[in-house]
Chains A and B, each alone.
Chain A
Amino acid sequence: MNEVWIRRINGLQLFIVGIIILIPIYWMVGSSFKPPADVTAYPPKFIFEPTLANYHDLFSTTPFFRYLLNSIIVAGGSTLLGLALGMPAAFVVSWSRVNWPAVLVLAARMAPGMIFLLPWYMMFREVGLIGSHISMVLAYSVITLPIAIWVLLPFFDQVPRSILEAAQVDGCNTLRVLWRVAIPMVMPGIVVTTILCFVFSWNYFLFALILSNGETKTLIAASFNFIGEGATNWGTLMAAATMIALPPLVLAGLMQRWLVSGLVVGAVKG
C-alpha cells in the first residue's frame, strides 16, 4: 500500500475517532445554550437561538461556587496526597526494581470503587469524618496514588542510575537523592501526573456521592441533583456538565505538550 493511501486511512481514522469524542462534547455544550424546549426536541435542533438561561438557572438555584470549591479541595487535596505518597513509592520501586508493591496498588485501583466504599463509610463514620473533605481526600487517593506511581515509574526508570549513585557518593541520603536530584529530573512527569490525578479525581463520581454531605458535595455529585425521578432539567444539567468539564479541559489544553510527551514515555517504557 502506498504512502498516500496510508495517510488517507490515518486521516479517516482520526476523523472517526474525533467525531466519536467530539459529538458528546458538542451535544453537551450546545444543549447548555439551548432554550429548555429545544434541548429535548426531536428531531434535534442544530440551529437555535443561544441563551444563557440554563447557566443563569444553574448559578441562581444551586450553590455552584461552593460545589466548585469542594471539587477543587477534594481533587487538589487528593492529587497532592497521591503525589506525596506516589513520588517516593515510584522512586523506590524504580530504584529497588521490586515491582510487586506497584502491582498491588494497581490491582487495588482495578477493583470496583464500591468495594472500598462500605468499609470506608463505616470507618469514617466511627471517627466522625463522614461528609468531611478529609474523608473524601483520603478516599480519592485510591484513584490518584496508582496514577502517580504508574505514570512516574517510567520517568524514574529513565533517570540514569549513575546520577543517583553520584548523589549518594556526594553525601545524600535516600530522601535527599529523591528531593534534590530525582524529582527535579522527572519534573515533566510530575506535571503530567498532577494533571491526570486532578482530572481523574475531579471526574470521579461515586465516592463523593456517598461520602459527601450537602456542605461538602462536589460538582460532579451535585450535578446528579438535576436528574429527577419524573422530570430532568436537561438544559441546566448540560450547563453544569459544561462547567464541570471546563477546568480539566483547560488544564489539559494548557499542558498539552507535556501531557502527550509524558503519556508517550509511559506507553513506551511502562
Chain B
Amino acid sequence: MSSITFEKVEKNFGEINVIPPFDLEIFDEELVVFVGPSGCGKSTLLRIICGLETISAGDLYIGDRRVNDLSPSQRDIAMVFQDYALYPHMTVRQNMTFALEIQGLGQKEINARVDRVANQLQIVPYLGRRPRALSGGQRQRVAMGRAMVREPRAFLFDEPLSNLDAKLRVDVRTEIKALSQSLRTTMVFVTHDQVEAMTLSDRIVVLNEGIIQQVGTPEEVYDTPANAFVAGFMGSPSMNMFGVRREGDDLRLQDGTTIASDGRIARAVATTGATDLILGVRPEHLSVCSSEDADVAVDILVVEPLGSDTLCSFELGNKRCIARMDPELRPKTGDRLPLRINRKRAHLFEANDAGRCLTSSTGG
C-alpha cells in the first residue's frame, strides 16, 4: 500500500510560512495532480514527499509509515525532475541501473528490469548513449525509465513536460497517462498547466499560496469550482468573470446590462445577502442566439480560429471576454452578435477575497 497522507504538514523557510497546515490523502494507485500558479507551493509539497525538504510541523505518511525523519534514499520514491536531472557522465543504461546497484540488486535482475522498461519506453537504441546525445523527448523518456526500473512505491513528477515543445508535450502526456494506467502505482504530478492537470489526473488539487482551494476529479473542479480562483485558473481560455450588482433576482453588469436570473442563479443569489457578486461564464457557455433570446449583443474585436472552435473576443461589462464558437458560424471582426449565457453552467461567486462559489452548492 502506498497511499500518501499529509496531516497538518507545514513548511517554513525562515520566518516565512510557505505551506500553512496542509491535510490531504492521496490514495493507493491514484494519480493526483497538484496545480496552481508559480509560487503556490506545489513543488515544495512534492519535495516534502520525497524528502528533499524537511517538514516544519505535522506528519507525512507513505503507506502506514511516518516518514518525517527519513532521508530521500529511505523513502522508496522515484522522481522525474523538470530538467530530467540525468547523470551526464553515465550512459542511459548506467543512468537506469544506478539506483538498482545502490539497492544491491543482482546483475541478472538489474538487466531484466532495464531491458523490460527500455522496451516499454522504446529507448533500447539509446541505452549506450550519453544524455547529451539525446533529444529532449528521449531524455524525458530516459528520466521516466530511470524512475520506472526502481519499481518504487510512488512516482513524483515535477513539471516534467515543461521543457518539451508543444507537440511532444501532448504525446508524452498521453504516454504518461497510459503508463499510469498500466503501472498502477501512486503518482503525484506537479504542473502549472491546467490542461495537463485535467487530462492526466484522477484527482486535481488546486493550490494557491500553499492552501488547497479545491480537491476533486477534473470534471468536479471544472464544472463546480469551489471559488473564483479555481474557476479562473482551470480552463483555457479562462472563465469570463463579470462584476455584477444584484437587483432583485436579476444581475446588472457594470455597463448597465441586465442579466435576467433564472431558478439556479436566483437560488444562489438567495443564499447571500451581498449585493456585489461575480458572474462567471466559461467561453463555451456563451452561445450565439436570436436577438429575442439574447442576454447581450456584443461587437467582436478579435477572432482566433483554432480549427475545432473559434475564439471571439469582445468587451462586456467593461471587461475583455472570450466566447468559444462553432467555426461554422465564421464570425468576423466587427460583427455584432447576440449572445446568450447558459445559465445552467454559469457560476456566481462572492465578490470578496475568498470568492466562494454560490452556485456549486445549489445544484443545476
Binding site for B on A (CB under 8 A): 160, 162-163, 165-173, 176, 180-181, 184-185, 187
Contact = CB atoms under 8 A, between A and B. Distances in A.
A171 B102 contact: yes
A162 B83 contact: yes
A172 B103 CA distance: 10
B236 interface: no
Contacts of B88: 163, 185
Nearest to A180: B98
B81 A165 contact: yes
Contacts of B82: 162
12 contacts: A162-B82, A165-B72, A167-B98, A168-B71, A169-B73, A169-B78, A170-B78, A170-B102, A170-B150, A173-B73, A185-B89, A187-B89
A170 B103 CA distance: 9
B234 interface: no
B283 to A, nearest CB: 37
Interface residues of B, number: 23
B77 interface: yes
A172 B73 contact: yes
A169 B77 contact: yes
Contacts of A166: 79, 81, 85-87
Contact of A171 (B81, B86, B103): B103
B215 interface: no
B49 to A, nearest CB: 10
A170 B97 CA distance: 10
Interface in B62-97: 71-73, 77-79, 81-83, 85-89
Contacts of A187: 89
B226 interface: no
Q: Which of A170, A172, A176 has the most CB of B within 10 A?
A: A170
B50 interface: yes
Contacts of A181: 87
Contact of B85 (A163, A180, A184): A163
Contacts of A169: 50-52, 72-73, 77-79
Given A169-B73, A171-B99, A171-B103, 14 more contacts: A160-B83, A162-B81, A162-B83, A163-B85, A163-B87, A165-B72, A166-B79, A166-B86, A169-B72, A170-B78, A170-B99, A172-B73, A173-B71, A180-B98
Nearest to A163: B85
Nearest to B104: A171
B52 A170 contact: no
Nearest to B79: A169
A166 B72 CA distance: 9
Contacts of A180: 98
Contact of A176 (B72, B78, B102): B102
A171 B81 CA distance: 15
A168 B89 contact: no
Contact of B102 (A160, A163, A172): A172
A185 B51 CA distance: 24
Contacts of B89: 184-185, 187
Nearest to B90: A184
A95 B82 CA distance: 19
Nearest to B158: A162
A166 B85 CA distance: 6
Contacts of A184: 89
Contacts of A165: 52, 72, 79, 81, 85
Q: Which of A169, A171, A176 has the most CB of B within 10 A?
A: A169
Given A162-B81, A162-B82, A168 B72 contact: yes
Contacts of B51: 168-169
Interface string B35-63: 00000000000000011100000000000
A176 B150 CA distance: 18
A175 to B, nearest CB: 12
A187 B89 CA distance: 10
Nearest to B50: A169
Contacts of B52: 165, 168-169
A160 B72 contact: no
